[in-house]
Every structure is written in structure tokens, then in C-alpha cells.
Structure 1
């Protein structure tokens, strides 16, 4: 009985809704078009996936030692704060622990904020970083190192990975040529489907944390020490020919926190080479021999996270 009653209630609400739209389209076509456009825009924003904004790396001391990576994401599904004095909405996925040869034991956490929050934090990103670190400590009972670094990407940081951890599922495209022609039965079926989808608990939850961290004292939980770009491990070699005459120079640089060559800024002159990865690595070296910069070639090995530069000696 209750199931039938629920179905009748939904159908009654649908009829009222369509009746309201019919009246609006007849009496005020401009308002009707504005309403439909607004609903379509909001719907598209709601189903848009989260996007990776930045990534933090710190050392986890308790309950287990290892690295903690926090992926900070921009997601329109997370509500924007309405008042600076009220809690800041934050969507978080579940902790995921894994291990590999290059990182050892590590833990991943994804947190998502409304794009407006991240846009406002462009001038001072520290507060967002501290919010994410404080949340990890207080929500999951972790004890973290007092230092963190901003890196380009974390392990398992593909869109599919953090979509899964945040509980985002891409809606299948069910559009058909005759989708505009809806019968009450098909419309009711779609609405029932939407209602059942809403009843499924996603992996992520909306969790509120105070927006004004400094006033609430949370900012003292973690040190905001920013780690300057580090000098990566590297090896510079002069390659001679059979007669022992220097012919080329080879530079190999280990870049464990880099995912692709596009993240690297590489500049070469006849006397030196500069390699930069914003906020992560900085390397400036003088060549032991004058080189022909026009002959330089660089290859990045994604599997080994290693950059190899070769250039001929003049």
C-alpha cells in the first residue's frame, strides 16, 4: 500500500509541476525560457565531475608511519559558503592506503571544495591547505608532520581514481531522438530512478568545518611551514668518443613527484641548464664544457620518473 501511495504522490507532484510550466509558458514565455535555461545550467553544473586543483604531501606519524597525499579538488556539487561566519562545506572521500616501490606505504585522501572558495584563495592558498590538513587530523585521528609540500600530483591521481574515492559516478547518456516525447509512465519511471539514486549513500559526505580557521584556533594544529622547491637528485656526465675527446654531455634528473614532461620548464644556454617544476623542484647547473644548445634533446621516462637531457659539446 505504501509503495502505491508513494507512486501516486510522485505522479500528483509531476502533474502539478507540468501544469505550472504550461501556465508559465502561455502567460510569460520569457520567464518560461529563463526558468528552463536556469534549470538546464544548474543541472549541468551539478553533474559535472570534480577536478583536481592541487596536491599536498606530508608525513603521517600516527597511527602508521608513511606519506599522506591530499588531493584538493574543485567541485560545483559542493555548496558555496553563504556566510563567512558559518561553517565551510567540504566534501571528503574515504582514506585509501596502498604501497609501491617508489613511495613505500602511503595514504590518499581527497577533499573537494566549491570552486568559489578555491578562487578566493588564489592570493593566499595556505588557509585552504591548512584546512585540508586539519580536517585529515581531526576527522581521521591522524598525527601529521609539521611540514608539508605542494606537489604536482600524487600516486593514483587519475580522474577515475579520485572520482571513485569521492563517490562520483558519470551519468550514462540515455538521450534518444524521441527523448522530447515523454509519456507519464516513462516520466514516472525516470523520477523513480532519480529517487532511488538519491537513496544510495555515496562514498563522500558533506562535512562542515569552520570557515574562519584563525578565530577557531584550528590553524595552530598544523605548522604552515612551506617547503621551498628542492634540488632533485641528478648526475651530469661528459661523454667522450673513442679517442677520448668530449663529444656530448648527458644530464639525468630523478623527478619522483612529476607525472609528465609538460610540468617541467627547461632552459638551456651554451653555458648552463635550468630545470624548474613550480613549487616542487629547482635545478641550475653550469656545463663543464660549452655546448651547442640547438642540439639538445630531452626525454622523460614516466615509469621511472626520470628526465634525461643530451646535448653536443662545441
Structure 2
């Protein structure tokens, strides 16, 4: 049972308001403690919910019978929720596949194959057994998803997992599920490039040097229009934030500033606060507005 189901909507609103008030008081009285709290929340949000799923190794291969030779990343990961091969039949190896989903580069495909940790241990000790497991997984993908992948000249990366994460509450996620979960509209790469505008960042970071009491301090985290939201994803080199700003028509309507490790995005109708503790200057980030999806994309180098 979801622990939140025991509360009525009114009770949840009251609890939410209490949390916002406590955070507003914390940022006014102890900004450092507030930043540490936001950092811990952000780090935990980036940890896959299925903590029992651990990376084993990643296999990079290509689709056969394809004109464009699409790259596939196979995450062979482990979970103790999956049974180990029975002692009387050690070659009867359970494999659980995810949905095939689009990689973070928007070009490759990603699929997970879950095995028991004991199977991975044997892979690490026996290269021939590892090769057999790879062939088994590729055959399973063919049988389950109807995609034929090459078993030759594959690259193997130890202890790696290629995102986006493919599971929630034990169920595999599709591209549509991930987009809905992140509340980010799916935009074709060509549409994104043709429909974006670069924002002109302020010449100076907007910093208010006046002191505030707990009662007068404007809230850093605000309850915004329910249609406005933001989500985050990671790449190898950047943190990427997507801000959905309904009814925003151009970059001229959007203000973006940095204050005390918080990126503040505002329009005439929306205000969003995003924790960015590692960002020293607003000029270090890249912000682009995607007209077709009313989305502000902010990239922060790691």
C-alpha cells in the first residue's frame, strides 16, 4: 500500500503547506543547512527506486538487418529478487527483460536483462560462461522483442548501466512511461533544434543583498501552477533540467537568475526554483527555449 493513500487530499495539502513553511524558515535562518538538505534530496532522487537492481556490465552491439545499424546498449544487471539457477539444473538460467527504450543520446536503444547475482559471479570467473550468457540474452531479446542483434565484435563495459533507468515498482518502463514519469513532452530531435531559442542571461546574477526575517523572506520553493513543472536528468558531462512553462511563447517572456545556489525561472504566470548547488555563475549554464513543447532546457556542466 502506498503510505500516502491513508491521507485525504485535504490532509496532504496541509502537510505540504507545513513542509513549505519549514523550508522557508530554514532558508531564512540557516541557508547552509538548507543547501545541504536540498543536496541530499537531489542525490536521493537520482538513485533508482529499485535499489535491489545493481549494474553488472553493459554490452554495446548493433541491430542486424538494419540499414542504419542502430546501436543497442544491453544492461546486464543483477537483482536478488530473481531466482538463482537450481542446483539440479544449473544451465536453467532465469532472465528478466525490460522494455526497449530510447537512450539518453536520443539515437541509440537501451534494454535491460536482469539475472541473479550468482550468475554474474560465475561470469566474472569464467569468460566462456560469460560469452554464453551474452548469447542467451541476445536470443531472449530476439524472442521477446523481435529484434535481432549482432553477437560479434561487441564492446563490454564492466560495472556500467546505461540510462534512462528502466524500472518502477518492479515493472518495466517504456519510452511513454518515462516521459510521463518525468513530465517532459517528447520532442523529435529535429523539432527541438529548429524550434529552440537561446536565452539572453542577465549581465549580473540577480542577488538580493537585503536581510530578511523568517516572516519577510520570500519563499525559495514556491507552490506554482500545477501545470508548471521541472524535471532533471544526467548525462556524462551535464546536469540537464527541463522546465515546462505552459503558454510561454518566446524566450523574451522568461527570466532566469541565480541566487544562493538556486536557479529561479519566472514568467508572468509561473515561478520555478531549481537547486543548482554546483553552479557558481548563471553564465556557466546554457539555457534554450523549445517553442514546440513550451519547455526551457537548462544545461549545467559537471
TM-score range, shorter chain: 0.3 to 0.5
Normalised by the size of structure 1, how large is the TM-score? 0.34
Q: Which has the higher strand share?
A: 1
Higher Cα Rg, which structure: 1
Normalised by the size of structure 2, how large is the TM-score? 0.35
